[in-house]
Amino acid sequence: MPNYKLTLSYEGTRYRGWQKQGNTGNTIQEKLESTLSRLLSEPVEAAGCGRTDAGVHARMQVCSFRTVKPLDCGETLQRLRQQLPEDIGALSLEEAEPRFHARLSCTGKTYCYRIRIDDTPDVFSRRWVLPCPGALDLSAMKKAAALLCGKHDYSAFCSLRHRKKSAVRTVSAIRLEETEGELRIFFTADGFLYNMVRILTGTLLEVGLGLREAESVPAILDSCDRMQAGPTAPARGLTLWEVRYGK
């Protein structure tokens, strides 16, 4: 069966996240699978690279799927663009190697958490940028961000009920960038635990607001205790920014 790689972007506001949940019909995976199945007249199952939470967006999400009949990628892409809802965009479609799998073949992901830091509101970005939570001490946040990187057991930064077998991940970078009145925090890792980026962000925001010292970070990691970390930042500020394959 031919194997395909589809790159999407979506505004997650009105969805219950990426992953299908029974037949609620309101997840991105379900919308995509039902559209592809109708379009190709055969049942299609699509594996996504990142399982974004309810309300989380994707600038770049990759999925893979197999079909019985080979596709004309250009034509299928055009028809997908016409038939997907307006808040899901099909960026590209190409045939993939037989063993390619969107999640298992992925070698790294970057999420971006966006926070308004200018007092002046921006109505146009409000669905994907958190409103200004108060004055932020960026240099303290950068110090904490550096301490959060590395290869660690990130259990303290995972919502308990969804803990995976191993909570060891390698976070290669947490980069803070100020641009056009907003702070963007880019998190790059080999993989992320459930809610991990949002809890890392909640913890960084506590540091930025002066509610916690940057130096408290190593003790949070060591504790492996979710209660020691900051709150889970709201979904709307989070975007799956980039996914990588190969070295």
The catalytic site residues sit at 53
- The amino acid sitting at 79 is R
179 scored as a contact of a second copy (CB under 8 A):
no
Contact criterion met (CB below 8 Å) for 214 and 167: no
Binding mask 38-77 toward a second copy (x if CB under 8 A, else -) reads -------------------x-x------------------
CA-to-CA distance for 57 and 60, rounded, in angstroms?
Answer: 9
CB 109, min distance to a second copy, A: 19
Check residue 123 for interaction with a second copy (CB under 8 A).
Answer: yes
- CB of residue 72 vs a second copy: minimum separation in angstroms? 16
Q: Does 81 bind a second copy (CB under 8 A)?
A: yes
**In this chain, which stretch among 31-39, 96-104, 114-122, 152-160 interacts with a second copy, using CB under 8 A?**
114-122
108 binds a second copy (CB under 8 A): no
Selected range binding a second copy among 8-16, 166-174, 184-192, 221-229, rule: CB under 8 A: 8-16
Rounded-to-integer distance, Cα 243 and Cα 126, Å = 24
Contacts of 202 (CB under 8 A, 6+ apart): 229, 230, 231, 232, 233
Q: Residue 11 or 30: which CB sits closer to a second copy?
A: 11
Question: What is the Cβ-side half-sphere exposure of residue 237, based on CA atoms within 13 angstroms?
Answer: 26
Which one, 82 or 139, has the nearer CB to a second copy? 82
Whether residue 96 contacts residue 64, with contact meaning beta carbons closer than 8 Å, is answered with yes
Cβ proximity to a second copy: between 57 and 198 the closer is 57
Please list the alpha-helical segments (H only) found in the chain.
28-40, 73-83, 138-148, 196-208, 217-223
Q: Using CB under 8 A, which of 40, 54, 91, 167 touches a second copy?
A: 91
Give the residue carrying structure tokens 């925001």.
205
Cα gap 175→45, rounded to integer Å: 35
Compare residues 12 and 202 and give the one whose CB is closer to a second copy: 12
CA distance 77 to 83: 10
Residue 187 touches a second copy, criterion: CB under 8 A: no
Could you say which of 34, 122, 138, 163 contacts a second copy (CB under 8 A)? 122
- Residue 9 makes contact with a second copy by CB under 8 A: yes
Judged by beta carbon, residue 10 or residue 154, the one nearer a second copy is 10
Q: Indicate the burial class of 200 (C-beta count within 10 angstroms; 0-12, 13-18, 19 or more).
A: buried
What one-character DSSP code corresponds to residue 81? H
Which parts of this chain interact with a second copy (CB under 8 A)? 9-11, 57, 59, 81, 86-92, 120-124, 126, 128
